[in-house]
Amino acid sequence: MKYILFAICLYFFQSASFAGAEMKMLLVQDTESKNMNIPVCNFEYHQECSIRFNDLDKLISNPYFFEMIIRADASVNIEFSEGIYRLNKALNIVWPANSAAHSLSITASGNVVISGAQKISKFYPVDTRSDVRFQPGLDKKVFAAVLKNILPDTAPVREKGFGWPTRPVTTELFIDNKPMTLARWPNKGFSKIIRSRLIPTADKTHFSAEGQRLSRWLKEPFMNAFAYWQYDWASETLPVKKIDVVNGMIELGGKGALYGIVGGQRIFIENAISELDDYSEWYLTADTGVIYFIPPENANLDNVEVSVAENLFTITNSAFVNVTGINFEKSRGDAVVCEACSQVVFDRTTTRLTGNTAFVFKNSIKSGLINSKINDTGEGGVSLGGGNRQTLEAGGNFVKSSLIKNFNRFGQSYRYAVSLGGVGQIVSANSISEGSHSAIFFLGNDHLIENNYISDVVLDTSDAGAIYTGQDLTSRGTMISNNFFTRIGPVNKQFEVKGVYLDDLVSGIFVVKNTFLNIPQPVFIGGGRDNIVEDNLFINSAPPIHLDARGLGSKPTAEQLRTLTAVPYNQSPYTERYVNLKNILKDEFGKPKYNVANRNIVLGFANADISPDARSGIVLSEFYRESDVVFLNNSILQKNSPQDYILSPASPAIKKGFYQGDLTLIPSPY
């Protein structure tokens, strides 16, 4: 009989220290019998007790259990023994402690995996020769399984991407712990949209595609189309409503593409059973719950899984909770959601293969992630929100010393490794890589983004930056300091890429002590004010600083007015913290002003790009150049380690006042 072992340690206050009894909880799977040698866990103290795994959240989230802990003046430690714990629904935790003396710790003994997937043990080969939906030549390659008993709701989530809320996927198929690809055309890369001149410009639903196979797609009830329909920064997955073979046309369902459809844009078709033709592809029949798949070559068919649980952990109204050494994987939605939490910390965790985001912290304070890994997520890495924008009280939520890579498998645009809202969140000493769009997005105030290694992002989109913010005139005070940027942008050099992108009049941001290696447009200021760009090192990155006057002569948009009036921008504490904000509507609105660029080093022939009507809006000091720089290790300027670019104290630039950040605080890539 397999047991799931938890050790709950109760520490009692004695002479300013904690010591005392240990309460062990021995858990068993629902299908197994309880250990009859020890009592059942309840609301009384036991040195040892037994409980079924699916009853755990009912106990630790029950206020009577927590009251018992308070009466004992104890803290609790739950220790998982090694194993895979499969969930159909999230483990819910409510732990309203008011001090660390009553903390809850959840730790792992060995390799512990919390999985939202269930194994498929019953699947069968498909006779594709007698089914006209399949292409010829697939005999003995295709398998099928019925999910209705595993996943009762197989209704597809068909709209995803820019402009759509993040929603859990219906399910995913995994074989040997690798995600399979929805049957698609073309199998790799993209086709291109064809837009007939006969289609009205305002039409958002009709198009053709180069090389399209309309006759094959004629009876595809659950087929979707993914495309950058209008812009290379806004991708959407939308349902296909109709195939018109006679007129060579494809029609989208609903209202169609958000911004309309333009010829030449990238597109692919997915979840078409007629395109199930390659290894590692699968197809979901939404009405019957049957999946069809072609396994990878030499796959272990004893390890076929589908994701079932929407979330894995949900922690609400809780404080002083520490989760250490636990691995999370294969949720349909966000793996871990913390709402209204204080000092809830995840340490040394690994999270992967989620349908949506790995971690979401809502309305929380001093909570976050440290020393952890996140990879292969569907629509983002970590979302941090908290603090008070009315009073500018900091939330202090954080992502520190962690690795985040391949963080938007499904949402190709505006799904970030880290997104920040509220006030005073911290992103420090992380390695972030492998994303089609931005690594970090922020709105709100006074965030700290420091000591991060950011590479290989903005790989598939245009008009985007490794760090991005835009439009909110009150989102001020964020410090972007001592980060290392390299390999930003796609292979397609026609795309417009930035390093730090302060879009559409964003103001009051500090960009200091960063290193930009081979970055196009490393600091891009889209018409804003009060931005400080100082002590940065630009290496073959041109133009190092851009400032335009895009807002000159304009009036505030409805969205700008909404965000402006949502906070006391002309009252304390805003008037003390951001001195020029109170006059934003009266002081030549839209004109760039009060920007400063001092003590920056530019290596490689490059000058600032300041539009003529923006020149009065920036104090721009002369750049330090090659003759002002001596590297400590005489680095050849194509290395990717931050430590290769430490300046010697003998550098003339340092003697002239350049202040370099501590590059040893930046982690190595990956």
pLDDT-wise least confident of 146-150, 211-215, 293-297, 401-405: 146-150
At residue 268, the pLDDT reads 98
Q: What pLDDT sits at residue 6?
A: 39
pLDDT at position 61:
84
Burial 390-409 (b: 16+ CB within 10 A, else e): eebbbbbbbbbbbbbbbbbb
pLDDT computed for residue 102 by the predictor:
86
Query: What separation, in Å, do the N-terminal and C-terminal C-alpha atoms of the chain show?
Result: 40
pLDDT digits (tens, 9 = 90+) for 187-209: 999 999 999 999 999 999 999 99
Least confident window among 81-90, 117-126, 573-582, 632-641: 632-641
The tens digit of pLDDT for each residue in 377-388 reads 999 999 999 999
Give Cα separations from 480 to 122, 437, 514, 594, 595 (angstroms). Answer: 52, 19, 8, 18, 15
The secondary structure of the chain in percent helix, strand, coil, rounded to multiples of 5, reads: 10, 35, 55
Torsion of CA 473, 474, 479, 480, to 10 degrees: -30
pLDDT at residue 469 above 50?
yes
Q: Tokens in use for 557? A: 């948009």
Q: What is the mean pLDDT of residues 360-378?
A: 99
pTM for the structure as a whole: 0.94
pLDDT higher than 50, residue 4: no
Give the bridge partners for 404, in sequence order: 374, 432
Within 10 angstroms of residue 21's Cβ, the number of other Cβ atoms is: 14
CA distance 148 to 164: 27
Choose between 639 and 448: higher pLDDT: 448
Calpha distance 482→500 (Å, rounded):
13
Distant-in-sequence, close-in-space partners of 121: CB < 8 Å, separation ≥ 6: none
Percent of the chain scored above 90 by pLDDT? Answer: 80
Alpha-carbon torsion 255, 201, 228, 466, what sign?
Answer: negative
Q: E-strand spans in 445-496?
A: 448-450, 453-455, 464-470, 479-481, 484-486
| pLDDT at residue 174, as a whole number | 98
What number of other Cβ atoms are within 10 A of residue 503's Cβ?
A: 19
The DSSP code sequence of 84-103 is EEE-SSPEEEEEE-SSGGG-
Residue 575 backbone phi and psi in degrees, to 5? -65, -30
Cβ atoms within 10 A of the Cβ of 264, count? 9
What is the pLDDT averaged over residues 152-181?
A: 92
561 CB neighbour count, 10 Å cutoff = 13
Domain boundaries, given as residue ranges, for the chain:
124-305
Element (H, E) at 430: none
Look at residue 13 and tell me whether its pLDDT is greater than 70.
no
70: pLDDT confidence band, cut at 50, 70 and 90?
confident
* Residue 670, pLDDT above cutoff 70: no
Tokens standing for 506? 């964003």
Contact assessment for residue 106 and residue 53, using Cβ atoms and an 8 Å cutoff: no
Q: Which two tokens stand for residue 241?
A: 């409503």
Which carries the bigger pLDDT value, residue 491 or residue 460?
460
- What is the predicted pLDDT for the residue at 26? 66
Question: Which pair of tokens denotes residue 618?
Answer: 């920036």
pLDDT category, 14, cuts 50, 70, 90?
Answer: very low
